[in-house]
């Protein structure tokens, strides 16, 4: 009998959550910030998926002119959409393939940040006591570590790789998500339906992941969108200072290559402006998504 009551209550809450999710999705899609952020991400995802089709050349191929000379430092046009580098590589093709590295790093890091931050925030807020104190002290330590130097040191001890960026972002950004999730769990665990589940004999794990977790997942996705921009920006910075993966074309690698080749002093703006603009766009898209989600999740912010 108790199990039937709990099952019926769970079904009612599931239908309510589904209706609430549809309402949130409708409000998100009606928000201009969210639409702008999603549109930017969709464009870059399409470019990354169809990079083989959109690129005109192999991004690492050294191209030659009709007279047999290396097509180095070619301006816009002349058969090259964005010109060529000082080694005769097509800049447009590097830009297109760079979107794959950016999204791979951004999405992977965001998944790790959301997973670690959400789990630790749930455990900290729900159990409290020693668990809460231990997790929050770990969060304080992670927040105290300088971000970019940590990534550089990690790349120095390990071989340069985009996974170093993913690991660093996951290790240092999870406290931001965990703190917010913890504060939300502190209020959710005191609500009537959680207490009702506890009275009916539901286990702590069931209460935590069935009754509490669904109410804080929107906040997790919100901080995941922010982590995407942070990860892409970090990868670009690490690649720019020479600690990125040398075997992978990325926007940060393009900026570092342009800097070393003194593209700015030669006025080769078509080399360094496109990757910089793409980095800015992706980071701004994450901000737009978080801004739109904040106004939906916290209606008081609209005023």
pLDDT in tens, 17-66: 565 556 656 666 677 888 888 889 899 999 999 988 998 888 888 888 87
Q: Residue 298: pLDDT above 80? A: no
Q: Which domains does the chain have, with CATH numbers?
A: 2-302 (1.10.3720.10)
Question: Which of the 8 DSSP states describes residue 207?
Answer: I
pLDDT in tens, 152-198: 788 777 777 778 778 888 888 888 888 888 888 888 888 887 778 78
pLDDT, residue 97, reads 92
pLDDT, residue 189, reads 82
Query: pTM here?
Result: 0.79
Buried b (16+ CB within 10 A) or exposed e, 15-49: eeeeeeeeeeeebbeebebbebbbebbeebeebbe
pLDDT, residue 290, reads 77
Q: Residue 299: pLDDT above 70? A: no
Largest CA distance in the chain: 87
CA distance 13 to 236: 44
Q: Residue 2: pLDDT above 50? A: no
pLDDT in tens, 243-280: 777 778 888 888 888 888 888 878 788 888 999 999 98
DSSP secondary structure string, 208-260? IIIIIGGGTHHHHHHHHHHHHHHHHHHHHHHHHTT-S-TTS--HHHHHHHHHH
How far apart, in Å, are the Cα atoms of 172 and each of 160, 167, 177?
18, 9, 11
pLDDT in tens, 74-133: 877 767 888 888 888 888 999 999 998 888 888 888 889 889 999 999 998 888 888 889
């Amino acid at each position: 009998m108790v199990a039937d009551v709990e099952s019926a209550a769970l079904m009612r809450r599931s239908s309510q959550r589904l209706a609430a999710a549809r309402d949130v999705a409708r409000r998100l899609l009606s928000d201009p910030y969210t639409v702008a952020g999603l549109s930017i991400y969709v464009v870059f995802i399409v470019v990354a998926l169809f990079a083989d089709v959109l690129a005109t050349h192999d991004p690492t191929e050294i191209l030659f002119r009709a007279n047999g000379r290396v097509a180095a430092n070619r301006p816009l046009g002349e058969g090259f959409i964005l010109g060529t580098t000082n080694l005769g590589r097509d800049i447009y093709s590097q830009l297109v393939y760079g979107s794959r590295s950016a999204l791979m790093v951004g999405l992977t890091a965001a998944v790790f940040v959301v997973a670690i931050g959400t789990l630790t925030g749930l455990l900290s807020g729900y159990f409290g006591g020693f668990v809460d104190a231990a997790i929050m002290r770990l969060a304080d330590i992670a927040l105290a570590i300088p971000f970019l130097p940590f990534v550089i040191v990690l790349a120095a001890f390990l071989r340069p790789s985009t996974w170093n960026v993913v690991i660093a972002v996951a290790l240092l950004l999870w406290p931001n998500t965990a703190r917010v999730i913890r504060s939300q769990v502190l209020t959710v665990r005191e609500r009537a339906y959680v207490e009702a589940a506890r009275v009916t004999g539901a286990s702590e794990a069931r209460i935590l992941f069935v009754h509490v977790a669904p109410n804080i997942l929107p906040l997790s996705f919100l901080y995941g969108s922010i982590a995407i921009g942070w990860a892409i920006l970090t990868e670009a910075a690490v690649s720019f200072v020479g600690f990125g993966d040398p075997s992978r074309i990325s926007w940060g690698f393009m900026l570092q290559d342009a800097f070393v080749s003194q593209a700015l002093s030669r006025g080769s703006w078509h080399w360094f402006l496109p990757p910089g603009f793409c980095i800015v766009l992706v980071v701004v898209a994450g901000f737009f998504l978080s801004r739109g989600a904040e106004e939906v999740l916290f209606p008081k912010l609209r005023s």
